[in-house]
Chain A
Amino acid sequence: MQITLMQGILITLVVFICAFDKHMEAFMWFRPLVVAFFTGLCLGNVQLGLAAGAVTELSYLGLLTVGGTVPPDPLFAGLMTTVLAYTTGQDVSAAMGLAIPFALVGQWIGIATNTLYAGFLPGVDRAAERGDEKTIGRIMFTGQFLYAILFALAAFLSVYAFQSGIAAFVNSFPEWLIHGFEVAGGLMPAVGLALLLVVMLKADNIPYLLAGFVLMIITNCQNILPIAILAGAIAWVGYTNDVKKNNNGATVQEKVEEDYSDGI
């Protein structure tokens, strides 16, 4: 289906707001679930937004900003999954695979501003020297708004301006290729989860991973909260034991430093 100019403008506004939040990472409005929901609202198809958001959110779960790296962009992933599903009529998991190139666009904007804003620092330093916090605020908000404007601009181009070209390109794909993207959509959550494990998994954690996995299979309840509560209980017991051990001796400071040497 075609996206009208009005819808295009509404979506651009949504992206502006979500990108504003993305720069701060304050309210998580840049996450696919939220972006896709709002995009669906703008397109008058809330159900599509919900479905696209649910699939994309989980796939981009592990693709997080860690230590200043810029991952493929969850905002554009949520946005374009919804938009492509709407304009091409494809299934949301196929649309998510097709949206990956757009997630790269978002990633590049992030890298560009992170580089550009180093050039703002001399101005900030000069203002600090004068004790002029107002100017620091002005420079900071310039960066804040510029980031959101760049995202909104890129969104307007990909959602509205180039929509027919993009849709025609996708619709020229043979069926097996589209199905391939669908399969990729089903596998994408594995990438996010594997990335989470890269940061979290340690040798003494593996039993808990397997326990969570087996619990989900045997209960088959499709709801993560019971497992999370059980995990919380186990973690709580472990934590109180560790604190007791800490207080019983051994210089703690060294221990802390040691533990941070490999990730969290």
Chain B
Amino acid sequence: MASEKKLTKKDLDKMAYMSLFEQSCFSFERMQAVGFAWGMSDCFRKIFGDNNEEMAKALQNNLDFINTEPHMAAILQGLVVSMEESGQDRELIHSLKTGLFGPLAGLGDAIWWYTAMPIVAAISCSLAGQGSVLGPIIYIAFWAITGILTRQWFVRMGYNAGLTAVKYIGDNAAALTKAAGILGVMVVGGLIPSYVTFQFPESLVVAGNVSIQGIFDSILPNILPLAFVFLLYWLFKKKNVNTMKLIIAVIIFSIIMAALGIM
């Protein structure tokens, strides 16, 4: 099959921008299906021209359940479009897409949401907390630049390297996710003492004149914030308490402590 290339760099860049809407019209039934398929529709049109029958098949092939990380979707869209262009079997395309969106979601979540976001947020918030507008500006700039550039890069990666690239990511996803996990967890460890405030007032004393906070500080500074995070972690993980209940419990706990005058 002489696979002449119909798509230009411009088409691929346009798809990267359309990929920004990957999560648009999100529904519980098929999650990101609509945005995912629509993002590729201009490239499909260029490939199939006026052939609406082929167009229909290509669209329908991409309209079932998909839920991945929005940045990572661009890789899949690049891959699907390149396979459509070279006229490959739709069932193969479909099974690849279905097999890959899960691992890509895990990897994408680890990179963007669990690692990049805490780091960028911590830096920006410390600037904003000091009253500098640089905080939100850095935050906005980081996500704008990475949001556009990575999509352009990912679309090309999926399109050019095709199967090999995506397979490489698939094969090494576990190692990448693990590395991102180490990075993310260590950052969270560093955030606990700076951002969680769990402290008893100096005036709260026992056994004569020993401040309670002083006792905890002499054991390990910031031991209370650490213990509190682990308590919540345990409630989430082992007791399956839902987020909202836990937030409400934290508020009630705080109000009781405040009413009793011990916090």
Please tell me if B180 contacts chain A, counting CB pairs below 8 Å. yes
Find A193's partner among B34, B124, B140, B195 (CB 8 Å cutoff).
Answer: B195
Among A153-161, A164-172, A229-237, the stretch that binds chain B is A229-237
Name the CB-closest residue of B to A132. B52
Q: How large is the interface on A (under 10, 10 to 19, 20 to 34, 35 or more residues)?
A: 35 or more
Among A6-14, A58-66, A83-91, the stretch that binds chain B is A58-66
Asked if B194 contacts A222 (CB within 8 A), the reply is yes
Asked if B143 contacts A208 (CB within 8 A), the reply is no
Find A100's partner among B106, B229, B251 (CB 8 Å cutoff).
Answer: B251
Q: Which residues of B contact A50 (CB under 8 A)?
A: 128-129, 131-133, 135-136
B168 smallest CB distance to A (angstroms): 10
Within 8 A of A (CB), among B223-263: 225-226, 228-230, 232-233, 236-237, 243-244, 246-247, 250-251, 253-259, 261, 263
Please tell me if B170 contacts chain A, counting CB pairs below 8 Å. yes
Name the CB-closest residue of A to B129. A54
Asked if B24 contacts A24 (CB within 8 A), the reply is yes
Name the CB-closest residue of B to A230. B186
> How far is B215's CA from A81's CA once the two chains are assembled, in angstroms?
34
Asked if A209 contacts B243 (CB within 8 A), the reply is no
Name the CB-closest residue of B to A117. B27
> How far is B107's CA from A242's CA once the two chains are assembled, in angstroms?
15
Asked if A224 contacts B119 (CB within 8 A), the reply is yes
Within 8 A of B (CB), among A177-232: 177, 179-184, 186-191, 193-202, 205-206, 208-217, 222-225, 227-228, 230-232
Name the CB-closest residue of B to A223. B126
Please tell me if B216 contacts chain A, counting CB pairs below 8 Å. no
Number of A-B contacts (CB under 8 A): 385
Asked if A34 contacts B63 (CB within 8 A), the reply is no
Asked if A200 contacts B125 (CB within 8 A), the reply is no
Within 8 A of B (CB), among A54-100: 54-55, 57-58, 61, 63-64, 66-68, 71-72, 97, 100
Asked if A260 contacts B103 (CB within 8 A), the reply is yes
Within 8 A of B (CB), among A89-123: 97, 100, 104, 113-118, 120-121
Contacts A51-B129, A209-B188 known; A34 to B139 CB distance under 8 Å?
yes
B74 smallest CB distance to A (angstroms): 11
Asked if B195 contacts A136 (CB within 8 A), the reply is no
Please tell me if B173 contacts chain A, counting CB pairs below 8 Å. yes
Asked if A31 contacts B187 (CB within 8 A), the reply is no
B112-144 CB contact bits vs A (8 Å, 1 = yes)?
011001110111111011011101100110011
Q: Count residues on chain B whose CB falls below 8 Å from chain A CBs.
A: 118
Within 8 A of B (CB), among A222-261: 222-225, 227-228, 230-232, 234-236, 238-239, 242-243, 246, 252-253, 255-256, 259-260
Q: Which residues of A contact B193 (CB under 8 A)?
A: 213, 216-217
Contacts A125-B63, A212-B190 known; A183 to B196 CB distance under 8 Å?
no
Find A190's partner among B106, B128, B175, B229 (CB 8 Å cutoff).
Answer: B229
Asked if A25 contacts B247 (CB within 8 A), the reply is no
Asked if B179 contacts A236 (CB within 8 A), the reply is yes
Contacts A33-B124, A51-B128, A125-B63 known; A136 to B258 CB distance under 8 Å?
no
Most chain B CB within 10 A, of A51, A179, A206, is at A179
Please tell me if B82 contacts chain A, counting CB pairs below 8 Å. no
Q: Which residues of A contact B37 (CB under 8 A)?
A: 128, 136
Q: Which residues of B contact A191 (CB under 8 A)?
A: 232, 243, 246-247, 250
> How far is B67's CA from A25's CA once the two chains are assembled, in angstroms?
13
Q: Which residues of A contact B38 (CB under 8 A)?
A: 133, 136-137, 140
> How far is B186's CA from A238's CA once the two chains are assembled, in angstroms?
14
Within 8 A of A (CB), among B43-66: 44-45, 48, 51-56, 59-60, 63
Please tell me if B214 contacts chain A, counting CB pairs below 8 Å. no
Asked if A197 contacts B188 (CB within 8 A), the reply is yes
Asked if A177 contacts B255 (CB within 8 A), the reply is yes
Q: Contact residues of B with A, CB < 8 Å?
A: 20-31, 33-35, 37-38, 41-42, 44-45, 48, 51-56, 59-60, 63, 67, 70, 102-103, 106-107, 109-110, 113-114, 117-119, 121-126, 128-129, 131-133, 135-136, 139-140, 143-144, 147, 170-198, 220-222, 225-226, 228-230, 232-233, 236-237, 243-244, 246-247, 250-251, 253-259, 261, 263
Beyond the given A177-B255, A212-B191, please list 11 additional residue pairs across the A-B interface where CB-CB is below 8 A.
A57-B125, A72-B247, A133-B41, A176-B261, A190-B198, A198-B233, A222-B126, A228-B186, A238-B182, A260-B102, A264-B109
